Amino acid sequence: MKPWEPGDRSNPASGGPRETVEQVERAKLGDESAFEWLVERHRDRAFGLALRILRSHSDAEDAAQEAFVRAWQALPRFRGESSFSTWLYRIVARQSFDRLQALKRRRERETVIEAAEHTAGEIGAEDAASRARQVERLIEKLSPAQRAVVTLFYFQDRSVEQVAEALGMPENTVKTHLSRARAELRQAWIRGGDESR
């Protein structure tokens, strides 16, 4: 099963919570079209979370794809104690962290260097776009756990409780990661402003 073709990340399908529950129940019974609907609905955010953790489009594609395969295999055991999206993002995060460890053993610092060079080459003249890219660069320098927490909390509007559940962390740990990430981003932003003068 191939949830999406590389580079094909269209807008998620429409549908409310009730429709999602219905599709989950159908998918649990082996309905592939129902699961494809769920993939279509959640793939952008799944990919976005993987990308924040891994900082590489190809690695994020692979991690998210593998997460959907694992979700399909594990779906019959999904009991609905959390929402489908929370359950799925936990699988995506776990898969991304596992992949990150494997990449670190193989490539060590190459990913960080490539990301810095790639981002530096993209800086444009427009102030808003430039600031957005600067924020992205700063987020890339956070730890993988901090990037995951920041992505779910700020970019996907998840509560601390939902972030904790999705990442399998205590809520206090999520709050600590958020606090440290905010402090690091603030300091890095100030340092960046000083350097540009």
Residue 52: CATH number of its domain: 1.10.1740.10
* pLDDT average, residue stretch 121-130: 56
Residue 106: pLDDT band (50, 70, 90) is low
Pick the range with the lowest mean pLDDT from 4-13, 59-68, 177-186. 4-13
For residue 92, give every residue at least 6 positions away whose Cβ sits within 8 Å of its Cβ, in sequence order, or none.
46, 49, 50, 63, 64, 67
Q: Has residue 162 been placed in a domain?
A: no
Q: How confident is the model at residue 14 (pLDDT cuts 50, 70, 90)?
A: very low
Model confidence pTM above 0.85? no
* CA terminus-to-terminus distance, the chain: 52
129 in any annotated domain: no
Give the confidence band of 132 by pLDDT, cuts at 50, 70, 90.
Answer: confident
> Which residues, at least 6 apart from 38, have a Cβ–Cβ distance to it below 8 Å?
20, 23, 24, 27, 84, 88
Whether residue 155 has pLDDT greater than 50: yes
In a domain, 167, yes or no: no
- State the residue range of the domain holding 80: 1-107
pLDDT band at 107 (very low <50, low <70, confident <90, very high): low
Residue 53 lies in a domain: yes
Measured between alpha carbons, how far is 49 from 86 in angstroms, rounded to an integer? 12
Asked, for residue 66, whether it belongs to a domain, the answer is yes
How many domains is the chain built from?
1
Residue 141, H or E segment: none
Residue 128 is predicted with a pLDDT of 63
How high is the pLDDT of residue 3?
47
Nearest in space to 76 (alpha carbons), one of 33, 41, 30: 30
Query: Burial letters for 48-87: b for 16+ Cβ neighbours within 10 Å, e otherwise?
Result: bbbbbbbbbeebbbbbbbbbbeebbeebeebeeeebbbbb
Query: Would 188 be classed as within a structural domain?
Result: no
Question: The tokens of 118 are what?
Answer: 């790639």
Mean pLDDT value of segment 176-182: 90
Q: For residues 138 and 126, which has the higher predicted lDDT (pLDDT)? A: 138
Neighbouring C-beta atoms of residue 186, cutoff 10 Å: 11
Average confidence score pLDDT of the chain: 80
Q: Is 153 part of a structural domain of the chain?
A: no
Rounded CA separation 52/56 (Å): 8
Look at residue 157 and tell me if it is in a domain: no
